[in-house]
Amino acid sequence: MLKDSVPRVLDTSSAYKERIKRGWYRFSRSKLSVLGLALALTIVFIALFAPLVAPYPEHAGPFVDFSNACKPPSLTHPFGTDAIGRDILSRVFFAFRGALLMAFVVLLIVVPVGTTVGLIGGYFDGLWFSTVIMRITDVFLAVPPLVLALAIAALLRPTLMNSMIAVCVSWWPWYARLVYGMTVSVKNEPFVKAAELMGMNRFKIMFGEILPNHLGPILTKMTLDVGWVILTGASLSFVGLGEQPPTPALGTMVSDGAKYLPTFWWISVFPALMIVAIILAFNLLGDGVREMLTSGE
Amino acid sequence: MKAVLEVRGLKKYFATSKKGVYVKAVDGIDFEVYKGDVFALVGESGSGKSTTAYTVMGMYEPTAGKIFYRGQDISKIHWKRPMELKKEIQIVFQDPGTSLNPSKTVAQIVGAPIVLHKKPRGEKLKEAVVHFLNMVQLPSEYLYKLPRDIGGGEKQLIAIARALASGPSFVVLDEPTSALDVSIQAKIIRTLLRLKEELELTYLFITHDLSLVRNISNRIAIMYLGKIVEQGPTVDIFAQPAHPYTQMLLSSIPVVTKAEEALKPKKVTSTGEIPSPVNVPPGCSFHTRCPFAWDLCKQVEPVNYQISTGRWVKCHLYSNKEVLVKKETEHER
Amino acid sequence: MNISDIALKIENLRVHYKVYRGILKVLDGISLEVKRGEKIGLVGETGCGKTTTLKTVMNILARNAIVTAGKIHANGDIVLEVKEGRVRKKPPKGVAMVFQDPTAALNPVFTIGEQLELVIKYAANINENTREFAINALQSARLPDPERLLTNFPFQLSGGMRQRVCIAMALAARPSIILADEPTTNLDVTIQDQVLKLIKRLSDEQKLALVLVTHSLGVARETCDRIYVMYAGTIVEVADSNEIFEQPLHPYTRGLLASLPRLTGERMAEGIKGRIPDYLNPPAGCRFAPRCDHAFEKCYTEKPLFYKANDSHLVACFLYEEGFSGKSGEQS
């Protein structure tokens, strides 16, 4: 990718190893970050290997067992069973898949788009098209992301794909604004001028010279966003716009169990706690990423 | 002798938020730089020396006037200049802390111009970078360091290596040692002078440090509020400073020996504030601080009077001398 | 020597900074003294600890700074003392400081008059006729039109005028000691000249003790009576102004002087080889030894004391151990 304006041939592995070591040192200074990393890795692992680690994998598909319905948490069903007898723990594991997939896809689309918009808007700040795209960005920013996602998802048929599209549309402007601000503050620095004066073209300057300096805040935001995108996805599925049954989704599980509160509390509470766990994990991880990438000393 | 760089009637104004009010950073200057010169542009804040340098580089487009490099009209912004020219003219900025990309290694920083202009790859590129590092006496261990791991003086050496990496023949140096300690400054200056000889370079040196100018430049132009008030060979100007501002500058320098003390002009000491370039005093812009000012100075701007060959001064005190007529260059005919 | 003659005295000051990588042992036994009415220069390059020294006197060190040894007297009071590992600090009275960047030293949202009044009320303890006092302070700093200046905001003034306002503020506190940390470094050379002359005149008029920190030997020479040369947290040489330039003894002082571009056009030296030491692991002996052309074995293992070249000229260098007229001895 055109990330560097100079070929990477010159870098030796030892210089990189040194920097990775230093980065890890900075990251691991905080125990909480390491905890966040462990939690996040566990969640990813579970999502990837759900069919293998879930005790009752078939419960994530069409499965009914009324004799086992609404059983409280026990050794065989640590999270209890739901209204039609499905093991909640297994369903939660499978729900992780949809959640993480959404986070991955959304960020995969949103980050490049938002970053590009922000880079162009920032580098050409003052020129007409920069003003135009930043005003468009402002319009999208003015609407609360959840509301926008709800509106879009409601317009389209409720599927996982469409809820992802909805979240994408409402999420990209945040990256655009972030990168815009950073680009504007850096574009008049002598090192950018030096690159311009030596004859580098504008595309290479934006992506090769300016963007590498923004990686810290962007990666930090991405890490934190995993949790928030998943929460937004859960909010969408809570109101029925997202993964459709029988595929388990965290939001849907919470809303399904809501009518059984407070007697059969575990049907709603455990999926909700898992949402919290995901956000916590990625927030802690995100703090650690920020420590690692933004040089304080 | 044909000049390498010729500046004619150069003006650069910046608009302000008030309509019709401009910052007259550079207000009509003429000078030539010949091959092998170290031409110093000297002045304090508001003098326009940095703006002049940046306009020569193409960071700004002139408001009026022309710049000629080896006879070619280059009075455009750098985006419109040919790639060949960008190889030829390079710049070293004042603060090495901000002139090097913090996310790039030394190899990438110095390699960038090489890749842009000569396009070697792989081992050849590495060799070329090491070649330029050695030119500024830095070992190849520096290849993969980041700017934050390097001290100020060495960062400036890397900035110099980068400037040389495209093979220029004209280098603009914008106060290259102002941000550095004295003990490092000496090393940088010596390196610059050595490189000039080895690579047959020509320098346009921007500074406010007159002691430095005395040691490295052969010709200087003193700027005040956007105009050149005195210009000529360094030795002559220091021996007999003509313009009252030059005398004021010289008398203000803190020096360390009695010998130097004796060289400082005694008659003119520093008074007054430097006016803002938004509000330039009428007539001779220096009259508000000049001990010799009289009525004419407040009303009429002096022209350039020639004191000797290659030496002229913009001051009514010398109105009995020959007026320097603006040379019509071949290009304008 | 009459004790009351000495306005400021620093004895054997050691200051460390705690950072992530360890402990930076910056100041390694700084001693200096200033008499009333005397102007001394503290000259050194970036990172040598001169600002740290001033900040210790004013008690405005950063949170991660640890004073591990030393004693400071200011105007007869002990303002800092380290005894048996405990640090006793007292805010100094009658000491004012002028900083390097006048734009940062002045609050941009208050007028000059408001800021001056704060100083007059709290530092000089004057509650009546504060406006007159303020105008007097501005006049003594040779600022034109003081009445209008009181209503101005800092952004309306030029750099040189801001610094003069800072000087006026420092004097409005009615100090007997002024600490000036590179007060003219950010100013143009013609303005620098005026401001330095102003500082000098005011110190003379009011018999103030002045400590001028600068990296410019020329500035120190023109303004100060005595000069302390500092390197990497240690004082390496101290002498009267004239003498230190005519007879520099310490290799560092000599190297510095040789590196200066001269108005006479003599060849500049190559500079001083090497870099300032890493304060995490400073040299065990003389801190300049790794860069010194004349260093021998003793220099790397033992710290030099101050040796007298004559009554007022002291050098911390083993080259002068048996030298000149004196024998080894501590700084008086």
Instruction: Give the model confidence (pLDDT) of C81-94 as tens digits.
Output: 888 878 888 888 88
User: Which residues sit opposite C213 in a β-bridge?
Assistant: C42, C181
Convert the pLDDT of each residue in A69-97 to its tens digit: 888 888 888 888 888 888 889 899 999 99
The pLDDT, as a whole number, for residue C328 is 38
Whether cis (ω within 30° of 0) applies to the bond prior to A262 is: yes
- Do C245 and B186 count as a contact with CB atoms less than 8 A apart? no
Determine which helix (DSSP H) or strand (DSSP E) holds B223, and give its type and residue range.
Answer: strand B219-224
- By DSSP bridging, strand B227-233 and strand B219-224 are antiparallel
- Whether B173 and chain A come into contact, CB under 8 Å, resolves to no
Beta strand residue intervals within C133-270, DSSP E? 177-181, 209-214, 226-231, 234-240
The pLDDT, as a whole number, for residue A11 is 55
CB A258 within 8 A of CB A273: no
Across the A/B interface, how many CB contacts are shorter than 8 Å?
Answer: 88
ipTM of predicted complex: 0.86
CATH of domain B5-332: 3.40.50.300
The pLDDT, as a whole number, for residue C332 is 35
The pLDDT, as a whole number, for residue B1 is 64
Q: Where are chain B's structural domains?
A: 5-332
Q: Which chains touch A (3 or more CB pairs under 8 A)?
A: B, C
The pLDDT, as a whole number, for residue C1 is 46
Question: Of A14, A189, A195, which is closest to B98 when you measure between CB atoms?
Answer: A189
Q: State yes or no: pLDDT of B173 exceeds 90.
A: yes
Q: Where are chain A's structural domains?
A: 39-52+77-293
Q: What angle do CA B200, B205, B211 make, to 5 degrees?
A: 115
Q: Which chains touch C (3 or more CB pairs under 8 A)?
A: A, B
A234-237 LR contacts (CB < 8 Å, sep 24+): A234/A99, A234/A275, A235/A146, A235/A149, A236/A149, A236/A150, A236/A153, A236/A163, A236/A166, A236/A167, A237/A163
Residue A260 burial class via C-beta count within 10 angstroms: exposed 0-12, middle 13-18, buried 19 and up: middle
**Between C330 and B57, where is the model more confident?**
B57
The pLDDT, as a whole number, for residue A13 is 65
Q: Which fold has domain A39-52+77-293?
A: MetI-like fold (1.10.3720)
- Whether A255 and chain B come into contact, CB under 8 Å, resolves to no
Interface residues from chain B to C (CB-CB < 8 Å): 44-45, 151-152, 181-187, 189-190, 208-212, 214-216, 235, 238, 248-257, 259-260, 263-264, 269-271, 273-274, 276
- Arithmetic mean of pLDDT over chain B: 88
Mutate to test the interface with A, among B108, B114, B117, B171 (most CBs of A within 10 A): B108
Q: How confident is the model at residue B122 (pLDDT cuts 50, 70, 90)?
A: confident
A15 contacts in B (CB within 8 Å)? 105, 144
For residues B3-17, give the mean pLDDT. 91
CA-based nearest distance B28→chain C, Å: 23
The pLDDT, as a whole number, for residue B324 is 62
Q: State yes or no: pLDDT of A52 exceeds 70.
A: yes
User: Which residues sit opposite C88 in a β-bridge?
Assistant: C81
Q: State yes or no: pLDDT of B331 exceeds 80.
A: no
Q: Which chains touch B (3 or more CB pairs under 8 A)?
A: A, C
**Between B193 and A246, where is the model more confident?**
B193
Mutate to test the interface with A, among C20, C21, C280 (most CBs of A within 10 A): C20
The pLDDT, as a whole number, for residue C4 is 66
Among B251, B317, B321, B308, smallest CA distance to B284 is for: B317
Across the A/C interface, how many CB contacts are shorter than 8 Å?
Answer: 3
Mutate to test the interface with A, among B100, B101, B105, B127 (most CBs of A within 10 A): B101
Q: State yes or no: pLDDT of C145 exceeds 70.
A: yes
Convert the pLDDT of each residue in C91-134 to its tens digit: 888 899 999 888 889 999 999 999 998 888 888 788 888 888 88
What does the alpha-carbon distance between residue B224 and residue B302 come to, in Å, rounded to a whole number? 13
Across the B/C interface, how many CB contacts are shorter than 8 Å?
Answer: 127
A295 contacts in B (CB within 8 Å)? 148
- Do A7 and B86 count as a contact with CB atoms less than 8 A apart? no
- Do B57 and A195 count as a contact with CB atoms less than 8 A apart? no
Question: Of B151, B190, B259, which is closest to C264 when you measure between CB atoms?
Answer: B259
- Whether A295 and chain B come into contact, CB under 8 Å, resolves to yes
- Do C45 and B211 count as a contact with CB atoms less than 8 A apart? no
Q: Where are chain C's structural domains?
A: 3-94+175-320
What does the alpha-carbon distance between residue B61 and residue B74 come to, in Å, rounded to a whole number? 10
Which residue does chain B place closest to C246, by CA atoms?
B257
The pLDDT, as a whole number, for residue B34 is 94
Convert the pLDDT of each residue in B75-94 to its tens digit: 999 999 998 899 899 999 99
What does the alpha-carbon distance between residue B297 and residue B315 come to, in Å, rounded to a whole number? 8
CA-based nearest distance B135→chain A, Å: 19
Convert the pLDDT of each residue in A107-130 to its tens digit: 999 999 999 999 999 999 989 989
Chain C, window 259-318: residues with a beta carbon less than 8 angstroms from a chain B beta carbon: 259-272, 275
Q: Which fold has domain C3-94+175-320?
A: Rossmann fold (3.40.50)
- Annotate C264-280 with b (16+ C-beta within 10 A) or e (fewer): ebeebbebbeeebbebe
What does the alpha-carbon distance between residue A204 and residue A188 come to, in Å, rounded to a whole number? 16
Convert the pLDDT of each residue in B299-314 to its tens digit: 888 888 888 888 899 9
Beta strand residue intervals within chain C, DSSP E? 6-19, 22-35, 39-43, 65-74, 77-83, 86-89, 95-98, 177-181, 209-214, 226-231, 234-240, 307-310, 313-315
The pLDDT, as a whole number, for residue A203 is 92
Convert the pLDDT of each residue in A11-33 to its tens digit: 566 777 777 787 787 788 788 88
